[in-house]
Amino acid sequence: GAVVSQHPSWVICKSGTSVKIECRSLDFQATTMFWYRQFPKQSLMLMATSNEGSKATYEQGVEKDKFLINHASLTLSTLTVTSAHPEDSSFYICSASHRVGNIQYFGAGTRLSVL
């Protein structure tokens, strides 16, 4: 099956620093990748849609200058949380859309803890 790799799986950082999360589709090319955020015991909320070679589309309420997304190739998208604060602590999950059936496959997620 389609595999999406996400790194790191867990990161702790100090308030004010930036954190980069990588999302890779290992065995398929994904023209579109998505970034979701999940707070404890809650559902996944779409943050942004990332298309290779173009600017990401952000959902309402998501600050594009705070959550920088780069989709440099058909297999790699990155999310950078800039000037992280404790309220940014969450579980960030990426997904990649497979061309066959446009099915979304998810990475294992990144647990971000901002101190």
Q: Contact positions toward another protein, by CB under 8 A?
A: 4, 6, 31-32, 34, 36, 42-46, 49, 59, 93, 95, 97, 99, 101-109, 111
Let me know: does 36 contact 45? Beta carbons within 8 Å: yes
Q: Which is nearer to another protein, 78 or 109 (CB)?
A: 109
Beta carbon of residue 15, minimum distance to another protein (angstroms, whole number): 24
CB of 49 to another protein, least distance (A): 6
* Residue 67 Cα distances to 17, 34, 59, 85, angstroms: 13, 13, 11, 12
